[in-house]
Every structure is written in C-alpha cells, then in structure tokens.
Structure 1
Amino acid sequence: MSTPTEVTALARRWRLEVNMGTDEVPDWQLCPGVTDFQPAAEPNIEDSTSYDSDGWTENTKTAQSWQVTATINRKTNDVVKVFHSVHEALRLAWLAFGSASEVPIRYLDRNGMPEAYQGKALVNWAESGGEYTALGQVEITFTGTGPLTPITNPLAGS
C-alpha cells in the first residue's frame, strides 16, 4: 500500500460561523463572503527570573488574548432591500453595549480537519470604501472576551 502524498493546507480552508440562536439552543450560521481570514491568539509572558535560575531567564504565561480579523464581501438581497442576516447581526453588535455586543463565533476547517475553535467576541466593523469599481467590503475584527476554546470540528467525518 502506498503512502498518501502530503499536500499544503490552503488559507481558504477556514469557515467562520456566528451563533444566531442562544447559548441553550445554538443556531450556527455561515458568515458568507469571507475573502481574508486571520486568527491570532497571543500569550502575555512575564519575566519570572530569580537568583535561583543560575542566570538563565525564566518566563511565565500570565494571560492569553485572541482575535480574528476577516474581510467580507457584503452580501445583499437587492429585491427585498436587505443585507445578509449574519452580516447585519455583526454590524448591530458593533454598535451595541453589554451582552448585546458579545457575539458567539466559531471557526473551523471546512474540510473536516481537526482544527476548530469557539468563543465570544466584541465586533469592530470597518467599511473598506474604494473606487467606483470596488466591491462593498467590510473588515471585521473580532476581539475575544473570555476563552477561545478548541472544539471538535462539527464537519469532521463529512
């Protein structure tokens, strides 16, 4: 039996979803039109060196923050004059305060590979603008509030 050839994963493997339901009854829906996706989870590391380390520095992770930046092509229904419901939920959360400003998101490998994460985030919404030939795009920054949790990819095995 031959060994399968390894291939390089593509950036477009990421799928971004927003919970349009509740914590008790989740309704995970695709955020369509993603053209650029950049997740990050940066640790806060503090120097914990003491005299006992024999001159070698020691460090301690004291916190963790996470963020996702995505650019989307804004989707509309020009017949009934509405934007896509997921896009609108994100735009409205950007202007909200308190729990209405926190959006449950998850991102996962659309090909069913094991990488998948979930957390609540605050939304920053920035229209791209552009020349008359440009598409209507928005850069959305999701700033994590609370943990980013690895989850089992719901697309695994599909």
Structure 2
Amino acid sequence: MSTPVDPAVTALARRWRVEVNTGTAETPTWSLCPGITALTPAAEPNIEDSSDYDSDGWAGNTKTGQSWELGMTINRKINDQAKTYNAVHEALRLASFAYGSASLVHVRYFDRNGLPEAYEGYAIVTWAPSGGEYTALDQVEVTLTGDGPLLPIENPNATPPAGGS
C-alpha cells in the first residue's frame, strides 16, 4: 500500500498585502497600498562574536540587535479625471520628503490568504521613481526602513476557528 502524498502547495510571492495607517495611532485606518509588483521583506539580526576560552574552541555568537526593511516596487495609481494620485501612494511620497514624526509611516503587511505571517511597525520612507522608456509604466521603488521593532501580529485576514471567538 502506498503512502498518501502531502497535498502541500507552494506559496506564491503575491500572497502579501501591505496596508498603511492613514488614520491616527489611537484610531488606525488601515488602507491598502495598491499596485505592488514586487515585495522584499527583510529582518536582519546583528550578530557579534562572543567566543571565549571556556567554549573549548567553539565560536560563540550573540544577537545584539535587529533591523527590518520592506522593499516594494509599485505601479503608480491615478484618477485621471480628478487629476489625483492614490492616497496611500501620496502618503508614502510625502513622508519621504518630511522630517521628524512626519517622516514615519505606520505599516503592516500580512498574508492575504489568512496564513499566520503578519507584521506591523513604523518606518521611514525612501521614494525613488524608476523612470524608463516611453512605453514604460510609472513605477516607483519604495523602501520602508524600520524605526523600532517589527512586531508579529495576528493576521487581520485570519479566519477564527469554527466554534471559537
């Protein structure tokens, strides 16, 4: 008798959803960042050598810090009738020119299918238009550089278990 094959499916890169808080810290309004064509999350630890004579020649390492970053390529979205850009894109662009607290955005990103990966934090925005040929789309490279912790959160799209709350 053969063993059943695990029905696992490979996750797709486009599973991520990014939202920016366009409200306040006290009353968040989570708004979709549309038009993402590429997303690269990173949370790199800072590791220092903590080797000593007591380790019998084995190297020791200690995590002493952590940083995070979210890189995105977005297609600029416009309302060609009202002559306006998407409000979330504009919030990101304007934050990239600001200083102090106005330079920070409150962001969260999570698996749009409800899987458990979900994160939230504050970040400084870098906004770099891609330019291109006359046939190119208006794309922007956006980098969100974490300012403080990137916190794992409950996925807003998670479905509660049946019979649970």
Q: State the TM-score bracket (shorter-chain normalisation).
A: over 0.9
Could you say what secondary structure the match of 1:87 adopts? helix
Are residues 1:99 and 2:112 paired?
no
Task: State the secondary structure of the residue aligned to 1:21.
Answer: coil
* Residue 79 of structure 2, aligned match among 49, 70, 77: 77
Query: How far does residue 3 in structure 1 lie from its aligned partner after superposition?
Result: 7.7
Task: For residue 24 of structure 1, give the secondary structure of its aligned residue in structure 2.
Answer: coil
Aligned to 2:163: none
Q: How many residues align?
A: 157
- Larger Rg belongs to: 2
Residue identity opposite 1:41 in structure 2: A
Residue-by-residue CA offset, 1:112-137 (whole Å, 9 max, x unaligned): 11100000000000000000000000
1:113 is matched with which residue? 115
Amino acid at match of 2:82: V
Query: Which of 152, 156, 159 is equivalent to 1:157?
Result: 159
Matched, 1:67 2:69: yes
1:5 shift after superposition? 1.0
The DSSP-based 3-state class of the residue aligned with 2:57 is coil
1:129 paired to 2:131: yes
> What are the Cα deviations for residues 55-101 of structure 1, in whole angstroms up to 9, with x where unaligned?
00000000000000000000000101000000000000000000000
Deviation >4 Å, runs of 4+: none
Q: Identity percentage over the alignment?
A: 66
Q: Give the C-alpha shift of residue 4 in structure 1.
A: 6.3
Query: How far did residue 46 of structure 1 move?
Result: 0.1
- Cα separation, partners in 2 of 1:3 and 1:24, compared to 1, 3 Å: farther
In the superposition, the TM-score normalised over structure 1's length comes to 0.97
* Aligned residue number for residue 50 of structure 2: 48
1:23 has 2:22 as partner: no
Alignment gaps of 5+ in structure 2: 161-165
CA-based RMSD: 1.2
